[in-house]
Amino acid sequence: MGRQVRIYDATLRDGTQAEGVSFSLLDKLEITQELDKLGLDYIEGGNPASNPKDMEFFEKIKKISLKKVKVSAFSMTRRRDRRVEEDPNIRALIKAETEVVTLVGKSWILHVEKALRTNKEENLRMIEDSINFLKKRGKEVIFDAEHFFDGYKDNSQYALKTLEVAQTAGADCLVLCDTNGGSMSFEIEKIIKEVQKEINSPLGMHAHNDAGVGVANSIIAARLGIGHIQGTMNGYGERCGNADLCSIIPNLVLKLGIDCVCKENLESLTRISHFVSELANLSPDGHQSYVGKSAFAHKGGMHVSAISRDKRTYEHIDPELVGNKRRVLVSELAGRSNVLYKLKEKELGLEEDTLLSKKIIARVKELENQGYEFEGAEGSFELLVKKAKGRYKKLFDLEGFRVTVEKRDDGRLISEATVKLKLKGKIVHTVAEGNGPVNALDKALRKALKQEYPELSQMHLADYKVRILDARAGTRAKTRVLIESSDKEDRWGTVGVSPNIIEASWEALIDSIEYKLLK
């Protein structure tokens, strides 16, 4: 590898400023340990002066053994017209007892005068006093020059002066922040080159994504020799988010040959990205570069035909390098290559049976024309193939089902399902209540099958999605239901389509259970 870049993660502080993102104390401790395993250099734990949870985090994290990462406490420079030793924010930084502290200070005159309501000279003293005070107490000090690029474009001399003051006071790294996220990449490049002529201290980059170029600006900074890059996992952050470390890190390692995490650790990137999403209670972005579910998904028949011969034709890296995997989708755009790839992947045979593969393709396209979708329903697709091949074994026959929803006097809404099946020559009749009609159906169906198929107790419904296919039809519209199920070893999707949501759900439920039992 070539030169090194240190990665500074701000997910636990800057990331939580994103709308809808919040982490508990336990979440923050778990994320810190996972990012340490990834091999990051710094984690910004929070602002100890802002809330009790962040201060408690710093108390707890001291008791946890971390391999590499340094935890930083974040705050602002002292307040105007106040002695630094009396400032509550600075005192909270000392109380946090971290080896590293990150101080944010203003570098744009607009913010000095409008946000801080002070003058340019006092702002410089605030920066100097705060860094001096913390350096004398043995801290590694990272200075975040907030709004630096906007400040530089407004008044380059003053923006540079804030860096010079921080440098003289002993800051270990001066971070250039595009806080509003609106600077273009050509501006970033030009300004960094000019700053490098004037400043000798190590420089860092902190980019936001309001103009959609946060990752690009971070990569440009690294190429120009900036040795400290800040960002957040999955790009979480205020407004449009921060620069996404899940894109920055593999770009640096795989594209630029820059050492920031080792390649072995890089293989855990997708897992950790999804882990952070899970704790944030947000669905992972399927189209996120490198770690998204669709990042290496292939749908067009021509594409699948090409990657079957050489993966490089439509993949810029091997997905396994970042812990992701290749996916071939089956849809109305599918060609024979898609079906053959899936047959081989699932070890279903028939790869060379041209007639049967054409039959399967025709059936897929016919069903998708009716509203079915097999991209997220590989369980249903596998059942379709088994039926075409004659390997499908019907496990039971439906005699009938009924679902009722009743509003009780006490305000409760009760759903009850009755299912009647013919199972191995016997009639099985069951009733179950559930949290909604689909849940009641699921319970009644499992109840009917559990004696013959006890392995169903290992299976769980992981996700349930409903899509109205033609909203203009109003309540008469067709409904597509996608169900995702899982057991200890596998996860699979199934699909059902009908103008009646209960029938569509039933189809998807039946497929999910048959897939499990026929595995």
The answer to whether residue 284 is domain-embedded is no
What is the tens place of the pLDDT at every residue in 276-305?
Answer: 998 998 888 989 999 998 899 887 667 767
Q: What is the pLDDT of residue 338?
A: 63
Q: What is the pLDDT of residue 172?
A: 98
The 3 state secondary structure assigned to 89-143 is HHHHHHHHCCCEEEEEEECCHHHHHHCCCCCHHHHHHHHHHHHHHHHCCCCEEEE
Count Cβ atoms below 10 Å from residue 353 Cβ, excluding itself: 15
Task: Provide the 8-state DSSP code for 310.
Answer: -
d(CA 313, CA 209): 30
Q: What is the pLDDT of residue 283?
A: 81
The 3 state secondary structure assigned to 425-482 is CEEEEEEEEECCHHHHHHHHHHHHHCCCCHHHHHCEEEEEEEEECCHHHHHHCCEEEE
Q: What residues contact 19, with CB distance under 8 A and at least 6 apart? A: none
Q: Determine the straight-line distance between the first and last CA of the chain, rounded to whole angstroms.
A: 45
The answer to whether residue 264 is domain-embedded is yes
Closest to 261 (Cα-Cα) out of 518, 443, 3, 6: 6
- Whole-angstrom Cα Rg for the chain: 29
Residues 160 and 271 in one domain: yes
Residues 331 and 210 in one domain: no
C-beta separation of 73 from 46 below 8 A: yes
Domain with 147, as residue range(s), is: 6-279
The answer to whether residue 46 is domain-embedded is yes
d(CA 419, CA 403): 9
Spans of the chain below 70 pLDDT = 1-2, 300-301, 304, 329-354, 375, 471, 473-476
Amino acid letter for position 518: L
Residues 33 and 143 in one domain: yes
The answer to whether residue 246 is domain-embedded is yes
Q: 491-498 and 479-486: which strand pairing?
A: antiparallel
Q: Which residues pair with 106 in a beta bridge?
A: 146
Closest to 226 (Cα-Cα) out of 8, 1, 44, 74: 8
Task: Provide the 8-state DSSP code for 72.
Answer: E
d(CA 122, CA 112): 9
Model pTM score = 0.76
Residues 271 and 311 in one domain: no
d(CA 129, CA 186): 34
The answer to whether residue 389 is domain-embedded is no
The torsion angles phi and psi of 175, rounded to 5 degrees, stand at: -100, 125
Residues 344 and 460 in one domain: no
C-beta separation of 60 from 88 below 8 A: no
Q: What residues contact 474, with CB distance under 8 A and at least 6 apart? A: none
What is the tens place of the pLDDT at every residue in 416-459?
Answer: 999 999 998 899 999 999 888 888 999 999 999 988 899 888 88
Task: Supply 338's token pair.
Answer: 């898609």
Q: What residues contact 353, with CB distance under 8 A and at least 6 apart? A: none
The total number of residues written for the chain in this structure: 519
CATH number for the domain spanning 248: value is 3.20.20.70
Residues 267 and 408 in one domain: no
What total number of domains does the chain contain?
A: 3
Last residue of a domain, one of 307, 333, 360: 360
Task: Supply 458's token pair.
Answer: 């290992």
The answer to whether residue 387 is domain-embedded is no
The answer to whether residue 367 is domain-embedded is no
The torsion angles phi and psi of 328, rounded to 5 degrees, stand at: -110, 125
Residues 432 and 340 in one domain: no
Q: Which residues pair with 121 in a beta bridge?
A: none
Residues 473 and 407 in one domain: yes
Residues 312 and 265 in one domain: no
3-state secondary structure of 69: coil
Q: Which residues pair with 244 in a beta bridge?
A: 232
- In sequence order, what E strands does 165-225 have? 173-178, 203-207
Residues 309 and 420 in one domain: no
Q: What residues contact 131, with CB distance under 8 A and at least 6 apart? A: 103, 141, 143, 166, 169, 170, 171
The answer to whether residue 92 is domain-embedded is yes
**At 47, which helix (H) or strand (E)?**
none
Last residue of a domain, one of 227, 249, 279: 279
Q: What is the pLDDT of residue 1?
A: 44
Task: Supply 213's token pair.
Answer: 């170029």
The 479-486 sheet, strands edge to edge: 460-468, 479-486, 491-498
